Structure 1
Amino acid sequence: MSLRVLLVEDDRLLRSSLRDALSVEGYDIRTAASLADARAQSQNALPGDLIDLVLLDLGLPDGDGQALLTELRRSSQIPVIVISAREAEGQKIRMLDEGADDYLVKPFGIGELLARMRVALRRRGHASEPALLHYQHGPLAVDLRLRRVRLGSQDVHLTPTEYALLARLVRQAGQVVTHRQLLTDVWGPEHTEQTHYLRLYMGQLRAKLETDSADPQHLLTEPGVGYRLAEPDVIH
């Protein structure tokens, strides 16, 4: 099972790029663009859907991220890494004293962020699982590292949204991913009720990846629940 990371960041472009980069490394990324959304996701998670680590921006549109850190530390030891443009030493000391596991000043490299995440997780007793980077089922092969999709010997061109949807299913290959999870992870938490997005893009994916889109062999429907990518022949 991939470790779940809640990314709290109001900058849309940075949020999207971090989500994509961390997802490729095998993390299950949940995103929040506001303090209220982050609170809802951290407080209302079901037992089997708990967050393993929080990446926390401070300058949020409805408050300061420090408030969330304070609330989390009242009841949880979940690892929290602050990611902020605020670089004053006093600010860093204050956040670390409040219970942050680490403080990373923007801009930063993804390699450094990943290393700090691994350290924070180890301190709390979690071992990062290897990234699931390659999937194959029959003629369908997906390489997340190279962002390459092939059907037999042919490369398949996908739109960014089609690719994001397929990649999300690859990272949980063989398991059902609910409508809500897919909408949250691909389109954002504000779209959790818009299941027509899923039907539309799943139809487009099947048209490109299935021999017979009416009888799919790779992209399977779990009626009333979500979608599942067929159990892989190879995944590593």
Structure 2
Amino acid sequence: MTEHCHILLIEDDQWLREGLKLFLVSKHFKVTAVDTLAGARAVLSQATEPYPVRLIVSDISLPDGSALSLFDELYAETAIGKIFISAHTSEQERIQGLQTGADDYLCKPISPEELVLRIKAVLRRLHLDCDETTEINFLHYQLNPESRILSYENTQMQLSGAEHQLLLQLLARQGKIVSREMLFSGLENTQIYQQGRALDILVSRLRRKMLGAVNQVDPIITYRGKGYMLLQQN
């Protein structure tokens, strides 16, 4: 990842803001950190080529208002990824955040490593990735994000666009249950997968491809009424 990938971090907690900024910079992101919506709007109006803002990571409750209003303003800006971070964990707030165009929602306390994974997943899904193609290694699999080829030893499987998007969503939260609502938000044809058992069928297709490569424990766990989880690396 090169420093050409510009992230706008909006967080009014000074210690958290500075800590996340230092961590993201250590991962070679270019980071601008502010503590208000006014500061964020100023950055967005000034940050142009060659370093436009590619993704926003924002707390919801800020001193001068709710970031929901900012995300609502940027709803049509598909060229900017958007991730909420919040101490509030209610399902209704997560849904409200996603309805304003957020690509992901992360509850506090925040794991910086998990935040980086989610940032990369959003950047890839929106075709905003700023670095060269690198394989993602997990559970003895290798995923090439550009070709969408999933490999296990000498076996290669071509993933469809939807299967690839689904796997990236699960990878970004590996070891944690991902709700159906969150998975819907990560798929391009959201309305299609909200109908009937379309999402379950998509998960089954991905699972069959992964299990077809190796005789092992099912890597995707189903939690009925809650969502799905990709097994954590041992």
TM-score (norm 1): 0.53
2:56 aligned partner: 54
Counterpart in the other structure of 2:154: none
Per-residue CA deviations over 1:25-46 (Å, capped at 9, x if unaligned) read 0000101110100011112223
Q: Measure how far apart 1:128 and its partner are.
A: 4.6
Looking at structure 2, the residues matched to 75 and 43 of structure 1 have their Cα atoms a distance apart, in angstroms, of 13
Contact 1:87 1:105 in 2 (8 A): yes
Structure with the bigger RCO (C-alpha within 8 Å, sep 6+) is 1
* Runs of 5+ consecutive residues of structure 2 not aligned to the other structure: 133-234
Alignment correspondent of 1:23: 25
| Superposition map of 1:37-52 within 5 A | 37-52=39-54
Q: Once the 2 structures are TM-superposed, how far is the Cα of residue 76 of structure 1 from its aligned partner?
A: 4.3
Is the contact between residue 9 and residue 32 of structure 1 (CA under 8 Å) also seen in structure 2?
Answer: yes
Larger Rg, first or second structure (1 or 2)? 1
Query: Residues of 2 paired with 1:90 and 1:21: CA distance?
Result: 30
The residue aligned with 1:112 is: 114
Q: Which letter does structure 2 place at the counterpart of 1:108?
A: I
**Which aligned pairs between 1:120-139 and structure 2 lie closer than 5 A?**
120-129=122-131
TM-score (norm 2): 0.53
Supply the AA of the counterpart residue of 1:43.
S
How many Å separate the matches in 2 of 1:100 and 1:75?
11
Cα 1:46/1:127, change in 2 over 3 Å: closer
Corresponding letter in the other structure for 1:40:
A
Amino acid at match of 1:65: A
Deviations 1:43-70 (A, max 9, x none): 2223323101100111100010111101
Q: Partner letter of residue 16 of structure 2?
A: L
Which position in structure 1 is the counterpart of 2:149? none
Between the aligned partners of 1:19 and 1:84, the Cα distance in structure 2 is 17
Whether the 8 Å contact between 1:82 and 1:103 is mirrored in structure 2 is yes
Q: Secondary structure at the match of 1:118?
A: helix
* Identity between Structure 1 and Structure 2 (%): 35
The letter for the 1-side match of 2:90 is A
CA contact (8 A) 2:7 2:32 kept: yes
Q: Which amino acid aligns with 1:25?
A: K
How far the C-alpha of 1:126 sits from its partner, in A, is 2.4
Q: Indicate conservation of the 8 Å contact 1:118/1:128, yes or no.
A: no
Amino acid at match of 1:47: E
Instruction: Please report the RMSD computed on the Cα atoms of aligned residues, expressed in angstroms.
Output: 1.4
1:46-195 correspondence to structure 2 within 5 Å? 46-129=48-131
Equivalent residue pairs, number: 130
Distance 2:78 2:46 in 1: 14
Q: In the alignment, residue 51 of structure 2 is paired with which amino acid?
A: D
Judged with a 3 Å threshold, the aligned counterparts in structure 2 of structure 1 residues 75 and 52 are, in CA distance, closer, same or farther, namely closer
DSSP 3-state at the match of 1:99: coil
Cα drift, residue 72 of structure 1: 1.3
